[in-house]
Structure 1
């Protein structure tokens, strides 16, 4: 299990040297493939966040783990009137502020934000591909409780996670937890799950598939993305299929998006 200081140092180093989709995405697959992957992520996010019952011009939104500002831009493109972003790292925050001068950014750890986030101040919060990097279960639970305090009753929480139906899988910088464990912690924090849908299907690690398929498809993706030109071609070839799959399937063996409401 990685300590808080080690986790922050890891991300400071990673984003300090690679503040792109690759730095926040699946690094082993290279930037061109990640850029195609993030096109699908954007489409799914805009569909799900755009369906929330919000007066977007007046809505106050919190984006957690803002990274390069990908989802900050998505909220802004949806017409949200007030956005606050936050990230664990100075490497991200010091770059985000000039990129989005109309957005307030805070450097904080969502598991222990102190008084940086006012209580019940936000109509919605997003936390995309962040929580599975919190390797300590107690800090993961604390993060959800912090989000719940920041979101008003009746507000929304949009997150992406690897909701496993198989046993949890633990690594130094990422823990893939079971769907029952995650939804249990969400319920304890005060959230009701409204819906869950595929964020990606084939363009990411097959974390919830059988061991043979995980190994075969993972190897195929890494082989196809060994160089930037082949990575671009692989992304371009998979992109139209992936767009159809995330709309047609109810579940995914990869990352999924979940929408919750604060009780």
Structure 2
């Protein structure tokens, strides 16, 4: 597969669309993605609130995008939140929107002076790792997530943990659960739990091929216009909220919490 310039791709995308659709499932539009992020926030707040963190904790958010999870950490009462993003487009806007938060431009797949070792009690990396299309850079990113954590610190991440073979595309790679877990363990991150972050409101990457195509087509048809996208999101939202609580795993993005050994 041809190597792409990921930074250039995300600079263009976020400069043009610094909204939920810019950081989410772009083809489904902003109105639908706004409902999706309501579910994502609920899952994140529920799971992160159970961690031993508080006003004296220091947390790093990797791939901050529009600042969704920065705001979640602040809502949970974290005293010191640092955000980072690959792009200047995101960092500049985040600094304007959140003047009380430090933001740095950093590539998590490369060691950065801006992200010193053993300096955070937790790190979040949401919907970032599967956009690293090179396996070696992915492994380096996981190592860096572990590197910035203090012993016993938490890594909170989202991924598509496939039970089938990996899937490589131009801007996203869906990897297998054993491969991802092995990468985490090699970095010194012990998996504590994994929960659904979404169920129906996203691409069904780990479902049978026929269902993937049928449901993907239905979502795209339902979100062709902003009004229908809003209605589709509103209709699915209460169902999705129940599914992410009751299901043990999902056919799409899941959230995993690990701890630095």
Shared fold per TM-score greater than 0.5: yes
Residue 178, structure 1, aligned to residue 176, structure 2: yes
Alignment of 1:226-241 (within 5 A): 226-241=224-239
Alignment of 1:1-263 (within 5 A): 1=1, 3=3, 6-54=5-53, 56-263=54-261
| TM-score of the aligned structures, taking structure 1 as reference length | 0.98
Deviations 1:70-121 (A, max 9, x none): 1000000000000011000000000000111111111010011321111100
Q: Distance in 2 between matches of 1:88 and 1:217?
A: 32
Runs of 4+ in 1 over 6 A off after TM superposition: none
* Counterpart contact for 1:63–1:86, Cα < 8 Å: yes
- The count of residues paired between Structure 1 and Structure 2 equals 261
* Counterpart contact for 1:31–1:228, Cα < 8 Å: yes
* DSSP 3-state at the match of 1:67: coil
How far apart are 1:41 and its partner, in Å? 0.2
How far apart are 1:3 and its partner, in Å? 3.8
* Counterpart contact for 1:2–1:135, Cα < 8 Å: no
Q: Distance in 1 between matches of 2:240 and 2:161?
A: 19
Q: Distance in 1 between matches of 2:95 and 2:254?
A: 29
* DSSP 3-state at the match of 1:30: helix
* DSSP 3-state at the match of 2:179: helix
Q: Distance in 2 between matches of 1:153 and 1:254?
A: 31
How far apart are 1:2 and its partner, in Å? 5.5
Contiguous gaps of at least 5 residues in structure 1: none
* Counterpart contact for 1:2–1:173, Cα < 8 Å: no
* Counterpart contact for 1:193–1:261, Cα < 8 Å: yes
Deviations 1:139-162 (A, max 9, x none): 000001111110011000000000
Deviations 1:135-192 (A, max 9, x none): 0000000001111110011000000000000000000110000000000000000000
Q: Distance in 1 between matches of 2:2 and 2:241?
A: 35
How far apart are 1:53 and its partner, in Å? 1.5
Q: Distance in 2 between matches of 1:163 and 1:204?
A: 14
RMSD over equivalenced CA pairs, Å: 0.8
Contiguous gaps of at least 5 residues in structure 2: none
* Counterpart contact for 1:164–1:176, Cα < 8 Å: yes
